Amino acid sequence: MINHSSSVLRRFPARTLQRGLCLLALLVPGCSFLQEGSTVQSGSSFSDQHVYLSSQPIYTVSIHALPTLDTPESEIIKADSFFDGTVQVVDKSLIDYTDISLISASERPGEPGFYNLCFEFTPEGRARWDELSRSNENRSLAILIDGVFYRAFKPRIFYSSTAQSIMVDGPFDCIVADKVQYYSRFNYQKHQKQEAAREKAVQTEERQETLQTTVGIPAENGLNVSETS
């Protein structure tokens, strides 16, 4: 569940300053922000170790419906807006970072320093996007980053039955595109590790219950099941 109360994005400067920084990124060699045709590598100022030690995924993306007149009030939240104020969105996300294995940024034609985002989905994420894009055709959805509203967009439909990625139309400024692109792979890896640990815990509990049933030894006795198998 996305934490709406604290967001990395609230520390970002105003959009006017961001635009200036984006232009600077295009003019100054070695700038850490995205440049034309570039992709973010592990040489970013944020170390891999920092990401793995972080207690929560960061720069996470989620897609939400925008409320209609028929949306129950109990399902609507006010999300802080990246551009000040708040925006009403449906609380339950349609897509979140666990559905996305990788995000890459692609510069928008004729808009230096601003980007579209390409989502590569897990099989489950692809199925969810396919459903939401068809059920929300010609409707706008909201994209939130760390629970903060960034923009509304109209979802594209997969161009073929085998496509695994989709373009989300911006503009996303270079700072946001940089960080979202860089952290997406770590967020997904973190999710996979959490799922593996959860599955292992369930298997261990099942083995303890089986041992208790067949041998009659209570699991709370502290028996290490792995040592008996």
Give the chain's domains with CATH numbers.
8-201 (3.30.1360.200)
- Work out whether strand 61-65 and strand 76-80 pair parallel, antiparallel, or are unpaired: unpaired
- Distances in Å between the Cα of 132 and the Cα atoms of 87, 128, 171, 199, 202 are 21, 6, 21, 29, 32
199-123-9 Cα angle (round to 5): 80
Condensed to tens digits (0 to 9), the pLDDT of residues 183-203 reads 988 888 887 787 777 778 887
Q: What is the spatial distance between Cα 224 and Cα 120, in angstroms, rounded to a whole number?
A: 41
Q: Which secondary structure element, helix H or strand E, spans residue 169, and what is its range?
A: strand 165-173
Higher-pLDDT residue of 115, 210: 115
Query: Cβ distance 4 to 147 under 8 Å?
Result: yes
Condensed to tens digits (0 to 9), the pLDDT of residues 1-51 reads 333 334 444 444 444 445 555 555 544 444 444 544 444 443 444 444 455
Query: Cβ distance 177 to 185 under 8 Å?
Result: no
Tokens 């999710």 belong to which residue? 191
Is the whole model's pTM more than 0.85, yes or no? no
Question: Mean pLDDT over residues 215-224, rounded?
Answer: 57
Q: What is the spatial distance between Cα 119 and Cα 133, in angstroms, rounded to a whole number?
A: 14
Q: What is the spatial distance between Cα 64 and Cα 10, in angstroms, rounded to a whole number?
A: 19
Query: Bridge-partner residues for 64, per DSSP?
Result: 142
DSSP 4: S
Locate 57 and state its tokens. 């995924």
Higher-pLDDT residue of 39, 217: 217
Percent of the chain surpassing pLDDT 70: 69
Kindly indicate the confidence band of residue 86, based on its pLDDT and cuts at 50, 70 and 90.
very high
